[in-house]
């Protein structure tokens, strides 16, 4: 019922938005005044939709959409920038934040992938170098991540790809097409999300590639459009969807320089709910590796920030650095699945992150190792999976944890089996 009410309300509000004409006050030589900005308004627990909408309308906010998965009422609205502070003070309002753009990371645009459909016949299966480099293949006699639920918060996942289809178990969509959001339209129209999904869990058959966890269950959470663009509010809604749908691992190969309370709250809630949250550290590194260039959400303490390495276990100059970097994984010239039925080789920390997400899936489906079962209850919590990934990582660069590689190269074999490769 609540869901139906939300949808009906949304339809009405979209109609209202449709008849509005926004006046711009910008003129030659004058700064824009009073132009509406997109903001995410989260209400305190227990504030009902009707009360929330009344508060918004009274302050001139025009509702664009309602978040569908948050345990509290939240709307995306258009509002003059100068009205933000007053709305933030209104009764029942928890936070008001700019609904900034969230994107694929620089250098990972769709144009990098093949544009035409590939051949009908599929290529013979190969083991991608990155999957080999982290010794995932040496973990497979112990675990293939069977049935572990991994949410890919990205551009969708190709429904038709024969190397992904066996492991795709569901999905949802937050991207509007012609003003309408259809949750069933999570097919990938960009390619990036399918690439990430393939590194996590491309099937072990006789075609294409093999993912780190070839029997994990993939869930497409489409928050980025065909150009790789999306909004903070959709990422936040996607994280809450993942919590509500009992995901065990979240991969976010996306981000921005956008610290916001709503994003931090969502990833913290996911981690508290037992989800291993993994994200790309960013492609904003400096040549000498100086500076703190890790993006959000990777930068939050509840998220595993993953930097990139090449086949020589060295950081490419674009891989972001800083105290938040937790692990490193292959991110240069990574072969994986693409949209439609084809394959693509691309680079980025977006490609590194799913090597770690897949490794987390392997650990979650493996027998519990006493050295990582910190509280001795015979199960792995998200924090214990994290401890396993950190504790087994192979140190790179400066001795011990550092700002370029974190704890080092993720070691899927040792994290899963307890056996350190030779």
Of the two residues 82 and 377, which places its CB atom closer to Ca ion in the complex? 377
Options 154, 225, 237, 411, the catalytic residue: 154
160 is catalytic: no
Q: Are 41 and 93 in contact (CB under 8 A)?
A: yes
19 or 422: CB nearest Ca ion: 422
Q: Which of 81, 373, 387, 418 binds Ca ion (CB under 5 A)?
A: 373
Please report how close the Cβ of residue 126 comes to Ca ion at its closest, in angstroms.
9
**CB neighbourhood size of 188 (10 A):** 31
Angle at alpha carbon of residue 74, lines to 71 and 78, rounded to 5°: 170
387's tokens: 């401890």
Choice from 243, 342, 402, 412 touching Ca ion (CB under 5 A): 402
Stretch touching Ca ion by CB under 5 A, among 163-171, 259-267, 272-280, 323-331: 163-171
CA–CA separation, 90 and 182 (whole Å):
32
The structure tokens listed for 181 are 């959001």
135 touching Ca ion, by CB under 5 A:
no
Give the H/E segment covering residue 38.
strand 36-43
Q: Which is nearer to Ca ion, 61 or 361 (CB)?
A: 361
Q: Does 414 bind Ca ion (CB under 5 A)?
A: yes
Q: Which residue is nearest to Ca ion (CB)?
A: 411
Q: Could you tell me where the beta strands, DSSP code E, fall in 214-330?
A: 217-222, 229-231, 249-252, 276-280, 304-309, 325-330
The torsion angles phi and psi of 50, rounded to 5 degrees, stand at -60, -45
Q: Both tokens of residue 417?
A: 């089996």
Instruction: Tell me the window of 10-18, 108-116, 350-358, 380-388 that interacts with Ca ion (CB under 5 A).
Output: 380-388
CB–CB of 122/343 below 8 Å?
Answer: no
Among 208, 228, 238, 348, binds Ca ion (CB under 5 A): 208
The region of 126-134, 137-145, 297-305, 373-381 touching Ca ion under the rule CB under 5 A is 373-381
Q: How many residues bind Ca ion (CB under 5 A)?
A: 19
Q: Does the annotation mark 154 as catalytic?
A: yes
- Catalytic residue list contains 192: yes
C-beta separation of 247 from 236 below 8 A: no
**What separation in angstroms does the CA of 186 have from each of 148, 286, 380, 415?**
20, 35, 31, 32
154 interacts with Ca ion by CB under 5 A = no
Please identify which of the residues 158, 163, 192, 353 carries the catalytic annotation.
Answer: 192
Nearer to Ca ion by C-beta: 182 or 377? 377
Closest approach of Cβ 394 to Ca ion, in Å?
5
- What DSSP string describes 226-247? TTSEEEHHHHHHHHHHHHHTT-
88-127 binders of Ca ion (CB under 5 A):
125
Question: What is the C-alpha separation between 240 and 236, in angstroms, rounded?
Answer: 6
Residue 392 binding Ca ion, by CB under 5 A: yes
Neighbours of 118 (CB within 10 A): 14
Shortest distance in whole angstroms from residue 32 CB to Ca ion: 47
CA torsion sign, 366 to 166 to 332 to 129? positive
Residue 163 contacts Ca ion per CB under 5 A: yes
Query: To which residue do tokens 């009906």 refer?
Result: 8
411 is a site residue for Ca ion (CB under 5 A): yes
Which one among 391, 395, 418, 419 touches Ca ion, defined by CB under 5 A?
395
| 397 scored as a contact of Ca ion (CB under 5 A) | yes
Q: 127 with 331: CB under 8 angstroms?
A: no
Q: Is 205 in the site for Ca ion (CB under 5 A)?
A: yes
Closer residue to Ca ion in complex, CB, 35/421: 421
Q: Footprint of Ca ion on this chain (CB under 5 A)?
A: 125, 163, 202-203, 205, 208, 373, 375, 377, 379, 384, 392, 394-395, 397, 402, 411, 414, 420
Residues with catalytic annotation?
Answer: 154, 192, 350
């Amino acid at each position: 019922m609540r869901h139906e009410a939300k949808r009906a309300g949304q339809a009405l509000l979209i109609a209202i938005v449709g008849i509005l004409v926004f006046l711009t006050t910008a003129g030659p030589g004058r700064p824009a005044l009073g132009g509406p900005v997109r903001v995410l308004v989260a209400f305190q627990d227990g504030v009902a939709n009707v009360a929330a909408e009344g508060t918004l309308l009274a302050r001139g906010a025009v509702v664009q959409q309602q978040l569908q998965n948050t345990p509290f009422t939240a709307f995306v609205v258009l509002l003059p920038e100068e009205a933000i502070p007053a709305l933030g003070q209104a009764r029942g309002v928890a936070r008001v934040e700019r609904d900034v753009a969230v994107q694929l990371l620089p250098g990972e645009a769709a144009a990098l992938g093949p544009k035409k459909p590939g051949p009908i016949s599929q290529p013979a299966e190969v083991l991608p170098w990155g999957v080999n480099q982290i010794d995932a293949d040496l973990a497979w006699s112990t675990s293939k991540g069977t049935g572990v639920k991994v949410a890919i918060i990205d551009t969708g996942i190709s429904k038709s790809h024969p190397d992904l289809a066996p492991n795709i178990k569901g999905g949802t969509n937050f991207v509007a097409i012609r003003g309408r959001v259809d949750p069933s339209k999570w097919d990938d129209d960009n390619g990036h999300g399918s690439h990430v999904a393939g590194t996590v869990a491309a099937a072990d058959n006789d075609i294409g590639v093999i993912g780190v966890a070839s029997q994990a269950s993939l869930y497409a959470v489409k928050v980025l459009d065909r150009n790789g663009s999306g909004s903070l509010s959709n990422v936040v809604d996607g994280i809450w969807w993942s919590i509500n749908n009992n995901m065990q691992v979240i991969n976010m190969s996306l981000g921005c320089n956008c610290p916001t309370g709503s994003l931090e709250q969502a990833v913290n809630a996911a981690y508290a709910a037992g989800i291993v949250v993994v994200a790309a550290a960013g492609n904003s590194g400096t040549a000498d590796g100086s500076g703190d260039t890790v993006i959000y959400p990777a930068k939050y303490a509840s998220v595993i920030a993953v930097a990139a390495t090449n086949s020589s276990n060295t950081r490419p100059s674009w891989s972001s650095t800083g105290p938040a970097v937790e692990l490193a994984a292959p991110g240069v010239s990574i072969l994986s699945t693409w949209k439609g039925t084809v394959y693509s080789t691309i680079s980025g920390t977006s490609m590194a992150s799913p090597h770690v997400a897949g490794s987390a899936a392997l650990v979650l489906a493996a027998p519990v190792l006493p050295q990582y079962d910190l509280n001795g209850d015979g199960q792995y919590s998200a924090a214990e999976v994290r401890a396993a990934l950190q504790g087994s990582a192979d140190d790179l660069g400066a001795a011990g944890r550092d700002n370029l590689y974190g704890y080092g190269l993720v070691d899927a074999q040792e994290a899963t089996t307890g056996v350190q490769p030779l």
